[in-house]
Amino acid sequence: MVAPVNFYGYNAAGGDVVMLRSLKNLEIQNKRVLVRVDFNVPLKDGKVTNDTRLRESLPTIQYLIEHGAKVILVSHLGRPDGKIVDALRMNPVAERFALLLGKPVRTADECVGSGINTLVSSMKSGEVFLLENVRFYPGEEKNDDNFSRELAQLADIYINDAFGTVHRAHASTYGVAKLLPSAAGFLLEREVTMLNKATLNPARPLLVIIGGAKIADKIGVMKDFLGKVDQFLVGGGSAFTFLRAKGWMVGDSIIDEKLVEGVKQFVKDAYVKGADVILPQDFKIAQELKPGVERSFAPADKIPSGWMGLDLGPETIRDFRRRIKAAKTVIWSGPLGAFEIPPFDEGTRAIAQTIVESPNLFAIIGGGDTAAAIEQAGIKDFKNIYVSTGGGATLEFLGGRTLLPIEILKA
């Protein structure tokens, strides 16, 4: 029997499909449309160094322009903690986005207030306006009702196209959506569609690769995966807290001592739920992280004092590769070494290449540093890989958490 296919075009036999209201069903001609985008891009010397997130937002913005909307963009940049930080103003982002869009993008040094209201009221159909960094305002991360209302006053319609922020119920991702007719942008729709492929009756074995520097950012979501996953492969800085939980000495490698007991309990819970937690067997090590530094290799339980693990060792790479080749679905979040400084990128590159060479599996790559590592490895446009724009949002969605900014847009 052929499994049913919904209008998004993927197998819907394994569970409930997340259906979102589409902006195509809204009348937007001459309307002021507030679009939450994720323009949190890296800057260096006042210039955007990676415009992937800007390019991902283009289809939604271009559609709105073509249909005569007055487009008001709102995004955060960095973590200013509710204070004005000149280095995190949106002007460089607007300049780069205007080049990609092929038309001017107006800016201002505020997000709300009478001055912005006046500027917005003078907009013409097809024009694009980028507000100042929304996290300059304490009310944003607090999801403050008054701040939400001030943002909502700017527009007739709200569109969320910032998947990378949907795990945070902030004013610009959730509060405004409660006050205006709202829908998902094309990027958000696509993300939900593709991620559902890994949650609705995924092909087994299902393997989750966890990397990155800090296990504190991942352990909560790893717990969400228990009962759904066959194996966890843990690398990067995240691995050393697990190794310390085994009682091993790991030199000067990064450890979160506060989580050692929690990690021990996680491993026990994973065993009960039938999931294997696979840790590195060896590491590429150095005494400091910088180009050209002396490096060596060490077993995972014998990293010398004064040295730290900065990449997977050859035995671990072989083991991880073997396990990935046997998998049918892979979810990967976090680089497996200090990929930004060769040669500590070799483990991440090897794992990425293994996924590419395994056409019988479907892989979801979490955003942020993992996506950057994949791009740096020159891997793109492979049919069996989906690179999400979200980092934490990707994991929380796949782990089954309720994400309020998505809940409020359900059809």
391 is catalytic: no
Cα 121 from chain centroid (whole Å): 34
The DSSP output letter for 3 is P
124 is catalytic: no
> Which listed residue (31, 32, 53, 96) is catalytic?
53
* Interaxial angle between packed helices 186-196 and 52-66, expressed in degrees from 0 to 180 and rounded to the nearest 10: 120
Separation between Cα atoms, residue 151 and residue 172, nearest integer Å: 8
Separation between Cα atoms, residue 392 and residue 381, nearest integer Å: 23
53 is catalytic: yes
Contact 308/251 with Cβ under 8 angstroms? Answer: yes
Q: 3-state DSSP call for residue 95?
A: helix
Q: 3-state DSSP call for residue 139?
A: helix
392 is catalytic: yes
> Which listed residue (366, 367, 391, 392) is catalytic?
392
> Which listed residue (214, 295, 321, 401) is catalytic?
214
Instruction: Name all contacts of 13-16 with Cβ < 8 Å and 24+ positions apart.
Output: 13/200, 13/201, 14/199, 14/200, 14/201, 14/202, 15/199, 15/200, 15/201, 16/200
Contact 183/153 with Cβ under 8 angstroms? Answer: no
> Which listed residue (334, 368, 391, 399) is catalytic?
368
Helix, strand, coil percent content, the chain, rounded in steps of 5 = 35, 20, 45
Q: Active-site residues: which are they?
A: 53, 214, 368, 392
